[in-house]
């Protein structure tokens, strides 16, 4: 079973969805650590209730991103973390973590990237008057929501609906899609080798989630 760290900055609903999926046996992962950059965030309470260790820090207490990421890396290595899932973590990942976990950091974003990257993606789409938005799971690189897309799900915007209704529908999709994608990713290498050995075929994660 892979050891997974979740990075979050806010209420932690996606953190909770991953923990719940793991408890149900739907996500083959040990949620080994919460990393949170906002002391007092609700996600810390969630981690405490779920007996998930938390590393909580204030970036302003460090001279640089490299300094606090070095400490995060120490915590990750101490707990033998193999994958990182960003779940509402409101900071760009820097070279220290990107180099240590190359190809093993993923993020969930509430839009159909590349549309509406960055903060308040749901509000951006709502105000733009588009007919649909959605959810994207992608690999993390040095940019803001610019890494390769792994899977997406569209969510229609109903004319005249309050933004709160759209937010609720998007969150429901997030809580289903993220555990499903991570379940595929955590066993991806083994599954990929098996598919190629058996029939030489290769399909994308998004296709296998259909």
What percentage of the chain exceeds 70 in pLDDT?
Answer: 89
Q: What is the pLDDT of residue 196?
A: 34
pTM of the model: 0.89
92 labeled binding residue = yes
Handedness of CA 181, 183, 184, 187 (dihedral sign): positive
SS3 content of the chain, % helix, strand, coil (to 5): 45, 20, 35
12 labeled binding residue = yes
Q: Exposure string (b/e) for 181-190, b if CB count within 10 Å is 16 or more? A: bbbbbbeeee
Query: pLDDT tens-digit profile of 147-206?
Result: 999 999 999 999 999 999 999 999 999 999 999 999 999 986 445 444 434 444 444 555
198 labeled binding residue = no
Q: Which of 109, 138, 171, 175 is catalytic?
A: 109
**Count of other CB atoms within 10 angstroms of residue 205:** 17
- Does residue 138 carry a catalytic annotation? no
Q: What is the mean pLDDT of residues 83-100?
A: 96
């Amino acid at each position: 079973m892979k050891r997974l760290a979740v990075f979050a900055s806010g209420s932690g609903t996606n953190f909770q969805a991953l923990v719940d999926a793991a408890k149900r046996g739907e996500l083959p992962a040990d949620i080994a650590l919460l990393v949170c950059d906002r002391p007092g965030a609700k996600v810390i309470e969630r981690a405490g209730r779920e007996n998930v260790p938390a590393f909580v820090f204030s970036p302003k207490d460090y001279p640089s991103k490299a300094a606090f990421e070095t400490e995060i890396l120490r915590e990750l290595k101490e707990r033998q973390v193999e994958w990182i899932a960003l779940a509402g973590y409101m900071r760009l990942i820097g070279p220290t973590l990107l180099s240590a976990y190359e190809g093993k950091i993923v993020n969930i974003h509430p839009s159909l990237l590349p549309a509406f990257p960055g903060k308040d993606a749901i509000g951006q789409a709502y105000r733009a008057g588009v007919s649909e938005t959605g959810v994207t799971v992608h690999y993390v690189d040095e940019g803001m929501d610019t890494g390769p897309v792994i899977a997406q799900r569209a969510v229609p915007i109903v004319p005249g609906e309050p933004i709160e209704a759209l937010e609720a529908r998007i969150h429901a999709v997030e809580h289903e899609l993220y555990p499903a994608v991570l379940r595929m990713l955590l066993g991806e290498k083994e599954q990929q080798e098996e598919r190629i050995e058996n029939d030489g075929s290769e399909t994308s994660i998004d296709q296998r989630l259909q």
